[in-house]
Amino acid sequence: MAGAFKGFGEKAIPFLKALDFHQSREWFQENRDLYESELHGPFCYLVETLSERFATAGLGLRGDRKKSLFRINRDVRFSKDKRPYNRHLSAILSPDGTKMEQGVFYVHIGLERCFAGVAWWQPDPELLQAMRKAIVTKPAAFRAMVTALKKGGLALDPEDCLKRAPRGFEEVGEADLAQAVRNRHFVVRHDIDPATIHTAALVDDLVDFTSRARPLLDWGRAIQGTAK
């Protein structure tokens, strides 16, 4: 595979630590070559390698170095925190290769943690309503998806769920369904051992995770076409 991912440079995380300390455009420009060789360049190859592997696995997710990566520059226009640079680099692979789609793969390499996720993140109101309705009206399909995730060592993340049932779902009585309809997102996550980011084995790890998360992708895709 031409240009296959071979691992992030050994100085990738130290670069992020130094950038976080300096938080200056001058320092970043002086060290841009290090950023490109240790972090950004390998991340581009990671996205392209994953895109090929996801296609081979029939996961319906793709990306490229131009559309998939988020900028390391922070958007500070509406933030009190005016630090110009992120403490991480991240990317999304999606059904159409853009960041605007739903049912996506996300990978994050940063100072606090390295992780990946498969998510229906902040779905629009119509899709979120359709998902909640499907949970209640087709509980067997929802529970089958949850069981399949569990067999793969995964579980839906309850973070950021509503404290109360959303309007129209107040009478849902079964505990697992009542919990599920409170979700704002439908997400599974996978922690990446920072020691593994420097080898090509990271690709196998991420493909394995995404394959185990496929039940969530398939469940959402079956609902997506019904959202109105």
DSSP 8-state secondary structure symbol assigned to residue 73: B
| pLDDT class of 92 with cuts at 50, 70, 90 | very high
Domains identified in the chain, total number: 1
Residue 33 in domain: yes
Amino acid at 99: K
Q: What is the mean pLDDT of residues 134-148?
A: 97
Q: What is the mean pLDDT of residues 53-77?
A: 95
Amino acid at 122: Q
Query: 144-180, pLDDT tens digit by residue?
Result: 999 999 999 999 998 889 999 999 999 998 999 999 9
Q: What is the mean pLDDT of residues 87-92?
A: 97
Residue 56 in domain: yes
Radius of gyration of the chain (CA): 19
Give buried/exposed letters for 6-38 (b at 16+ CB in 10 A, else e): ebbbebbbebbeebeeeeeeeebeebeebbeeb
Position 227 scores a pLDDT of: 60
- In the chain, what percentage of residues exceed pLDDT 70? 98
Residue 5 in domain: no
The Cβ-side half-sphere exposure at 43, using a 13 Å CA radius, reads 27
Please say if the pLDDT value at position 86 is more than 60: yes
Phi-psi region of 136 (alpha: psi -120 to 50; beta: other; left: phi over 0): alpha
Q: What is the mean pLDDT of residues 79-108?
A: 95
Closest CA to 182 of 135, 140, 113: 135
Please say if the pLDDT value at position 81 is more than 90: no
Amino acid at 164: R
Query: 176-217, pLDDT tens digit by residue?
Result: 999 999 999 999 999 999 999 999 999 999 999 999 999 999
Position 3 scores a pLDDT of: 67
Residue 191 in domain: yes
Residue 51 in domain: yes
Residue 210 in domain: yes
Give the span between the Cα atoms of 107 and 178, in whole angstroms.
30
**CA 169 to chain CA centroid, nearest Å:** 28
Two tokens at 34?
């290090």
Two tokens at 125?
């109101």
Residue 6 in domain: no
Which structural domain range is residue 90 located in?
12-224
**CATH number for position 137:** 3.30.930
End-to-end CA distance of the chain: 42
| pLDDT class of 69 with cuts at 50, 70, 90 | very high
Query: 18-60, pLDDT tens digit by residue?
Result: 999 999 999 999 999 999 999 999 999 999 999 999 999 999 9
Residue 2 in domain: no
Give the span between the Cα atoms of 217 and 214, in whole angstroms.
5
Please say if the pLDDT value at position 76 is more than 90: no
